[in-house]
Structure 1
C-alpha cells in the first residue's frame, strides 16, 4: 500500500521506494498537450496549403519528378546529417532558410523604395541624419553638458535636419530635395544604402578575421557587385533597383554566413543541402519541360502577389493589401517601440518603489498588465475617437490604422520590455555604480545592451499580433478592397487581414477556397517569418548567457 511522508511530501510504494507515477503521468500529459497543439496547427497549415496549391491538379509524373530530383535527395541528406553530423545539419537548415528569409525581406524593402521613399528622398534623409549625428558627436566632444542640455541639443538637431519648423524654417532634408541637381537615382542608393551595408560587412569580416585586407575585400566586393547591376541588370532583364536589393539584402547575409562557416571549419558539409535542392529544382524543371508534365494549378503564384483585387478569382491579387500591411507595420513600429521601451525603462529603472509615488507606480503597472488583455475591438473604438473624431484624420488612412494598432500592442511591448530589463542581474548595475557610472550611463551602457535581445523578442511577437488584427481596422474605416496601393502614410489602404475578411464574404467557391487560402498562406508566411526572427534572437540571447 502506498504511503506519504507528511514531513517531506514524498510518495512511497509498498516496497518503500519513492513512486514516480505522478511525475510520469504529469510528463505524459504535458507531452500529449504539446503534440496535440502541434498536430492541430499542422492540420490547419496542410488544409490551407492544399486549397492554395491544389496538388491533385498536377500530373502524377510531375510529382514523381519532384520527388526524385528534390525531395528524396534532400531527405536522404537530412537523415545523414541527423545520424552522423548534427552540426552540419544545423548549417544545412540555416543555409537553406536564410536565402528564403532574405528574399522575403527583399520584397519588403522593395515595397518601401517603391511606395514610401524614393531614392532621392532616401538620399536626403540619410544625409540629414548623418549631419544630425555629427552635430551631436561634436557637441559631446567639445562641451561637457548635463542631461537637459544634451536632450535640448538632440531635439534641435533632429528638428533642423529632419523635420524643420513648418512655415518658418525648412529642414536640411527638404533643402536637399529642393536642389536643382541631385545624384542620379542609382548613385543615390549606392551611396546611402549600399555603402553603409558594405561598411558593415567589411567591419564584420575585419573583426572576425582580424585582417584589414579581408575587411576591405568584403566591403569592396559588395559595392562592386551592386554597382555592376546598374549596367548589367538591364542587359539581364533585371531592373537596377532589384539588382541592388538582391546583392545587398540577400547576397551580403548569405555571403557572410558562408564565410563564417568556412572560417570556423565546422559543419562545412551542411552547405551541400541548398546546392542539392537548387540543382534538383533546375533538373526537375528541365525534365518537366522536356516530358511535358503538367504541374499543379496553384493560386499562390507571382501574379497573385503582384496583382490587385479583381472580381474574377484567377485575376485577383493581394499586392495593395500587402503594401498596406507593410506601411501599417512601419507606423506601428515607429509609434509603439520607442514609447513602450521608454515606459518600461522608466518603470523599472527610475520610478520610485516606496511611499505614495511607489503605490501609484504599482497601480500603473497593474493597469498596463490589464490593458494587454483588453479586446482589440475596444482599441478600435479608442482609435476612432482619438485619431478620427478628435484628431481630425481621414478615416481609413495608413497612419490612423497604424496608430490604432500601436495602441493595441503598446501594453504588450511595455510588459515584455519590463521583463527583459528586470532579468538583467542587479550585480551588473552595482558594478557600474561602483566604477563611478551615473544612472543614465548604467542604463544606456549596461542594462539596455543586456536586455535588448529580450526586448526585441517580445516586440517582434507583438508585431506579429499587430499585422494579423482585423477588428481595430474595421472600426477606423479601413477599406475592404483598394485597387491602388498607398503612396503615403496619409493614403487610403487595406491590410491583408481586412482583405481576407472581405474575400471570406464572397459566395464564389473559387474565392472562398482558392483566393482566400492563398491570402491566408501569405499572411501565415509573414507571421512565421516574424516569429522565427524572435526565436533566433531568443536563442542567441540564451547562448550568450
Structure 2
C-alpha cells in the first residue's frame, strides 16, 4: 500500500509532504552548489599561488607519510572515542594557526611602525587614568554619575593627549570652515599641558625594547592565560601559572637571537602566537579530562610537520615553487614579478583596521545602545532606523566620495592617510555595526531587564550588568564581520587618494597608506604582465583571503564561546 504523502490541515488546505521533501532537497542542492563553486575557485587561485605540483614527488611522499597518514589515523581514533574531543582538537589546531598569523602582524607593528618606548608610553597613559577611574568609582555613593564620568573622561584625555590636544585640532578645522573661533588656528600646535605619552616617550634612559614588550605585552597575556588555566585552583596556582607563561615570553627574548630571530619579534611571537594556544591546551588538559585526548590531533600535526621538514631538508628534496613565501611577505613592491612583495600593504591593512575599530566600534555600539534602550518610539527614531538600514546598503564608492568631500576637501586634511582611510572605512561599516549590535541587544530577554528593574537597579546598571554582558558575543561577532568587509574594500581608498603602491610602512596616522586590495588591483592593472597576473596576483589574493578567514574564524569562536556560557 502506498504511503500517505499528503493530508488536510484546518486553515492550511492541502499539505503535501512530497513538496516539503523537494523543497529541502533544493535548499541542500543550492547550498552544496555555492560551497563547491567557491571551493573550486579558491583551489584554482591557490594552485596558481602555491604551485604544489612543482615539488619533487619525494617531498609529497614524505609529508604524506609523516603528516597526512598519522593525522588521519589519530583524528579517526579521537573522533570515534569522542566527537567533543575531536572538536576540541580541531579548535586547538585552528587556534595555533590563527595565533601565529596574528603574531606576525603584531611583530610587524613593533618592528617598523610603533617603537616599544612609544607603546610603553601609551600603556602607562592608559593605566594612570584607569587607576583614577577605579578610585573615583570607589566613591560611588558620594559622587553623582555625571561627576564621575567627567573626571574619568578628563583623566583619559589629559593622559593621552594633553591640553589642548585634539581640541585644538578641531578648533583649527572649525576656523578653516570660517567659524569665528579665537586662536583656533594656533591651538593645534600649542601644548599647554603635556600628556603622559609625551612625558614617558621623552625619558632619557629606558629599558631594552624587548624588556618593555615582555612587561607590556607578555605580562597582560600571561596573567589572562594563567587565570584561564588555574581559575578554580586558588590564588597561588593562578600566580604560578601566570608567572610560567610570562617566563616563556622572557625566555623567547633571550633565546631568540640564538636561532636567528631578534629579541623584539621573538617576544611578540611568543606572547601572541605561542602563549594563547599553550594556555588553551593547558586549560583543556587540566580542566577538561574528557576532552584532553583531542589535543593529540594538533600535537600530531605539529610533530608531523617538523619531522617532515627535517627529512626533506636533510635529503634535499625540493618543495613547491610557491609565490607565497617569506620574501613575498617581507618585501616591498617591485616592477619585477620575481621580487614583488606584499609587506607594506599588509602593514597598511593592519593600521587601517586598527583605525577603523577605534573609530567605528565605540560610536556604533553607543548608537545601538541608545536606540534600543533609551530612545523614545516616535517618528524621529523611526526615520533614523530607516536611514541606518538604507546606509548599510549604499555602495562603498559613495562612502569614498563622502570621505573625500568631508575630510579632504572641507577639512583640508591630506589625502590617503591612515587617519582619513580609517575614518572613511569606519563610516562604511558604521551602519553594519549599529544594526548587528541592535539585533544582539534586542535578543536579550525582556524578563531579565524586568528582573533587574524589580531589584531596584537603574537603567544604566541594567544596561551595564545585564544587557551588555548577554549581548556582547553578538556585538563582537558583528563588529569583526564588518571589519572583514572593510579589509577587502578598494573603491573608498581609491576615492580618498590612497596610493596603490607604497614602498614603506607609515609610522604616523598622518602618512599615506596603501592596503592589500589596492596592491592586488595595481598588480592586475598597472603591471598586468603574465607573471604578475597569473602568479603574483593569486599570491596576494591567497594572503588577503587567509587574513579574512582568520578574522571570521575569531568571530565564530567568540560567538560560540559566549553562547555556550549563556
TM-score by length of structure 1 reads: 0.94
Aligned pair 1:46/2:39, yes or no?
A: no
**Secondary structure of 1:453's match?**
helix
Distance 1:539 1:67 in 2: 33
Q: Identify which range, 27-36 or 281-290, moves more after superposition.
A: 281-290
- Number of residue pairs aligned between Structure 1 and Structure 2: 534
Paired position in structure 1 for 2:364: 340
Matched residues in 2 for 1:407 and 1:201: separation?
Answer: 35
Q: Provide the rounded CA distance (Å) in 1 between the counterparts of 2:432 and 2:269.
A: 34
Aligned to 1:61, which of 58, 61, 73?
58
1:388 maps onto 2:408 in alignment: yes
Which residue of structure 2 aligns with residue 205 of structure 1? 229
Of residues 242-251 and 439-448 in structure 1, the stretch that sits farther from structure 2 once superposed is: 242-251
Gaps of 5+ in 1: 13-18
Tell me the SS of whatever aligns to 2:272. Answer: helix
- Indicate the residue corresponding to 1:16 in structure 2: none
Alpha-carbon contact 2:256-2:262 (below 8 Å) kept: yes
Equivalent in 97, 100, 114 of residue 100 of structure 1: 97
CA contact (8 A) 1:341 1:413 kept: yes
8 Å CA contact 2:101, 2:273 repeated in 1: no
Q: Aligned-pair distance for 1:197?
A: 2.0
For the pair 1:297 / 2:329, whether they are aligned, the reply is no
Q: How far apart are residue 290 of structure 1 and its match?
A: 4.2
Q: CA deviation at 1:2?
A: 8.5
1:6 Cα deviation after fit: 6.8
> Which residue does 1:22 correspond to in 2?
19
| Superposed displacement of residue 178, structure 1 | 2.1
CA contact (8 A) 2:67 2:300 kept: yes
CA–CA distance in structure 1, aligned partners of residues 441 and 318 of structure 2: 56
With 187-196 and 161-170 compared, the bigger mean Cα shift is at: 187-196
Distance 2:434 2:564 in 1: 25
Cα shift readout 1:435-472 (whole Å, capped 9, x = no counterpart): 11111111111111111110000110000000000010
**Alignment counterpart, residue 490 of structure 2, candidates 441, 454, 470:** 470
Structure 1 runs, 4 residues or longer, greater than 6 Å off: 1-4
Aligned-residue offset at 1:102: 0.6
Q: Deviations over 1:287-336 (max 9, x none)?
A: 33344332211100111000000111111000000000000001100111
Give SS of 2:335's match: coil
1:502 correspondence with 2:499: no
Q: 2:169 corresponds to which residue?
A: none
Residues 343 and 269 (structure 1 numbering): CA distance in 2 closer, same or farther, change over 3 Å? same
1:241 to 2:264 alignment: yes
State the distance in 2 between where 1:418 and 1:480 align: 36
2:162 aligns with 164
Give yes or no for contact 1:469–1:497 (8 Å, CA) kept in 2.
Answer: yes
The answer as to 2:69 corresponding to 1:72 is yes
Q: Which moved more, 1:133-142 or 1:303-312?
A: 133-142
Structure 1: distance between partners of 2:200 and 2:302? 45
Are 1:330 and 2:350 an aligned pair?
no
Aligned to 2:182: none
In the aligned structure 1, how far is the partner of 2:312 from the partner of 2:261? 26
Aligned pair in 2 of structure 1 residues 286, 191: CA closer, same or farther (>3 Å)?
closer
User: What SS does the corresponding residue of 1:11 show, helix, strand or coil?
Assistant: strand
Which residue of structure 1 lines up, in the alignment, with residue 463 of structure 2?
443
Secondary structure in 2 matching 1:381: helix
The answer for the alignment partner of 1:147 in structure 2 is 145
1:312 aligns with 2:336: yes
Q: Distance in 2 between matches of 1:232 and 1:294?
A: 29
Q: Which one of 383, 386, 408 corresponds to residue 366 of structure 1? A: 386
Which of the numbers 178, 191, 197 marks the counterpart of 1:173? 197
Seen in structure 2, the aligned counterparts of structure 1 residues 410 and 289 have a Cα distance that, compared at 3 Å, is same
Change (3 A) 1:229 1:531: closer
Q: Which residue does 1:531 correspond to in 2?
A: 552
- SS of equivalent residue, structure 1 residue 5: strand
What is the TM-score normalised by the length of structure 2?
0.91
Q: Deviations over 1:507-539 (max 9, x none)?
A: 311111110001000000011011111111222
Shift of 1:244: 1.4
Q: Quick one: distance in 1 between partners of 2:86 and 2:446?
A: 38
Q: State the partner residue of 1:186.
A: 210
Shift of 1:81: 2.9
2:129 corresponding residue in structure 1: 132
